Amino acid sequence: MKVTMKDIAKKLNISINAVSIALNDKPGVSDEMRWLILKTADEMGYINEKRKYLSVFSRTNICILMQSYYANTGHFYSIVLRSIVDEAKNLGYSSIMNYFEDEHMDMPECIVERKVAGMVVVGKISDVNLKQLKKTGIPIVLVDFTSLYDSCDCVLTHNKQGGYMITNYVLQKGYQKIGFFGDLNYSMSFQDRFIGFKEALMKHHIIQGYCDDAYIRQYSF
């Protein structure tokens, strides 16, 4: 049996007119009620049956993607995620969270069915998976990561400056035997932090500019 507006209205105990207003993206209901109606309509299968409403639905959501690995490895990304969700809400968007495995990423249903206005990838993603996401034509932004092989909008921290500042601070405190911990092949963020680390060592005349990077990584100063 096909789902109707009447079914949606009955489930939410509201008028059919309110459902129609929300689905057709017209003024007359609050933002909270609009999101609730759209969410309920989608859960009941109405959106897929009425493809004309997909364009309306896609303007209300963003998809946040992050590797499952990061979910259990620290507090930093939880702060980033909270900030993204809060800001999206302030701008009138609902956030759909999707965790993925970078070795074998399954395309989220909301992206396949084009039910989102954009995608935000938090943390590292392989170039292969990034290309697959870009093929959808849905706008995408990377957070705390960028790709050398496939240009994409991104939001990055000042990794080089941060690496320099923390190293300079430690050296000013009188410590001399310090080293850099991090896999430079993992991401550009690690590489930039290492550059900042090395420049601070050079400023304090602990190393010379011609020192090999492998030497700097191998030994403490």
- Decide: helix, strand or coil at residue 41: helix
Query: CA-to-CA distance for 119 and 188, rounded, in angstroms?
Result: 21
First-to-final CA distance of the chain: 73
Between CA 154 and CA 162, with CA 157 as vertex, the angle to 5 degrees is 155
Give the predicted TM-score (pTM) of the model.
0.66
- The answer to whether 101 and 81 have CB atoms below 8 angstroms apart is no
Q: Which CATH class is domain 60-155?
A: alpha beta
pLDDT at 112: 85
DSSP 121-147: EES---HHHHHHHHTT---EEEES---
**Tens-digit pLDDT profile for residues 16-58:** 898 888 887 788 888 788 878 888 887 887 876 556 666 666 7
pLDDT at 56: 65
Query: CA-to-CA distance for 66 and 73, rounded, in angstroms?
Result: 12
pLDDT at 184: 80
Query: CA-to-CA distance for 66 and 143, rounded, in angstroms?
Result: 10
- Sole residue written with tokens 């938090």: 122
pLDDT at 27: 83
Among residues 102, 111, 110, which one has the least CA distance to residue 130?
A: 102
Q: Is the dihedral of CA 26, 27, 29, 31 positive or negative?
A: positive
**Tens-digit pLDDT profile for residues 116-145:** 889 999 998 999 999 999 998 899 999 988
Domain range summary for the chain, segments of one domain joined by +: 5-57, 60-155, 159-218
Query: CA-to-CA distance for 147 and 62, rounded, in angstroms?
Result: 21
| Number of C-beta neighbours around residue 102 at 10 A | 14
